[in-house]
Amino acid sequence: MLEIKDNVAVITGGASGIGLALAKEWVKQGGKVVIGDYNDAVFADVAKELGESNCVCVKVNVSQEADTENLAKTAIEKFGQINLVAPCAGVIADGMMVSPDKSDPTKVKKMSLEKWQRVIDINLTGVFLTVRDCLEQMVIKKCKGAVITVSSTGSLGTAGQINYSSTKAAMSVFPKVLTAELMRRKLGGQIRVNAVAPGYTATAMTAGMNQEALTAIESDIPIGRMNKAEEVVSAMLELYKNEAIAGEVLFVHGGLRLGSKG
């Protein structure tokens, strides 16, 4: 079993939501964290909560190569190692790919390339760059650890989320491809790659939804409620600690796939 104490996690999107919940638990169990996030306005509060000796916060646009390279190098400069890479940064920009006007089917509204590309840039390219640059440092420094990408039940396909679902399907494939690549370089025992695929999770984002929408969502979940962020984190830490798990996707959705939407 891998230990957390004195080990270092690089977490993008780490200033809020699941990323912040992961950072809190990692520090609670004795680890150090490097938080990468675009919202640097909250860094002082995050550092105070986690303990300034336990973390370093770096402003990052994960779609920019220079930023992700700097993030990985900062982790090495500050703490000397990287043991967990958790690219939690993500965005949504929902909409139908094509949507004919109900009163006039000759008029069709299309998803803009901008809306498509924004999600691809953060959720897919951003993960590629973050994982690539952190893996580079892990290999150079001979760090033992794991990569955990964040997929979603949306990876199974959700109407109105062609951009988001496509990126989350990719997150489910990342572990399989990278596990095979690391094995070919005889690094499979040193660095494992897995994914967690949460269902609806109670975060600041969902807290802003109206109660009617939340009730409708929860009625489709067999356990009758959304995930807690801490429950998703618990699954991520199991993927990190259990050295027999590699190349897998762990769904955490309260049985959603078995419910009325399954």
Tens-digit pLDDT profile for residues 69-87:
999 999 999 999 999 999 9
Query: Contact 219/261 with Cβ under 8 angstroms?
Result: no
- pLDDT at position 158 is 83
- The DSSP line for 120-132 is HIIIIIHHHHHHH
- pLDDT at position 157 is 83
Q: What pTM does this model have?
A: 0.93
- pLDDT at position 237 is 98
Across the beta sheet with 55-59, what order do the strands follow? 55-59, 32-37, 8-12, 84-87, 145-150, 191-198, 249-252
Residue 149 DSSP label: E
Distance CA 258, CA 254 (A): 9
Higher pLDDT, 123 or 152: 123
By DSSP bridging, strand 98-100 and strand 108-110 are: antiparallel
Residue 186 has pLDDT above 80, yes or no: yes
- pLDDT at position 133 is 99
- pLDDT at position 86 is 99
- pLDDT at position 159 is 84
- pLDDT at position 261 is 47
- pLDDT at position 205 is 67
- Domains of the chain from N-terminus onward: 8-258 (3.40.50.720)
Of 152, 28, 158, 178, nearest to 90 by C-alpha is: 152
Lowest mean pLDDT among 6-10, 96-100, 143-147: 96-100
Higher pLDDT, 217 or 261: 217
- pLDDT at position 262 is 42
Indicate the average pLDDT of the chain. 93
Query: Contact 145/83 with Cβ under 8 angstroms?
Result: yes
Tens-digit pLDDT profile for residues 220-252:
888 888 889 999 999 999 999 999 999 999 999
Higher pLDDT, 191 or 92: 191
Catalytic residue selected from 38, 164, 200, 240: 164
Q: Which residue has the tokens 């990719």?
A: 170
What sections of 185-226 are H helices per DSSP? 204-207, 211-219
38 is catalytic: no
